[in-house]
């Protein structure tokens, strides 16, 4: 769709602008959009790799320290339950 709009702009002239100026403008805009897309893809790839690495490290830590993992999970669940219970009683 954007390519069609840019093609329409290049085929016409507005005011004092020539078709060559519009062709150059089209080229600049297209390059900027392509650069932005390339950067976005690169950032997404880096984020995905970082998330996978974090998951692998978490799995390794759970396997290395299973009792500590269970104890921490129990403590967080207990604290969350206590906080939610306190908030529920406070509303009454």
CA–chain centroid gap for 86, Å, is 36
Helix axes 66-91, 19-64, angle to 10 degrees: 110
pTM of the model: 0.52
Each residue of 36-51: pLDDT tens digit?
999 999 999 999 999 9
Each residue of 76-87: pLDDT tens digit?
999 999 999 999
């Amino acid at each position: 769709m954007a390519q069609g709009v840019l093609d329409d702009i290049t085929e016409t002239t507005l005011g004092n602008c020539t078709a060559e100026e519009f062709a150059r403008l089209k080229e600049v805009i297209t390059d900027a959009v392509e650069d932005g897309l390339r950067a976005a893809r690169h950032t997404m790839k880096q984020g995905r790799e970082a998330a996978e690495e974090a998951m692998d490290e978490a799995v390794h830590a759970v396997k290395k320290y299973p009792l500590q993992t269970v104890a921490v999970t129990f403590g967080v669940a207990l604290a969350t339950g206590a906080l939610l219970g306190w908030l529920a009683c406070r509303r009454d």
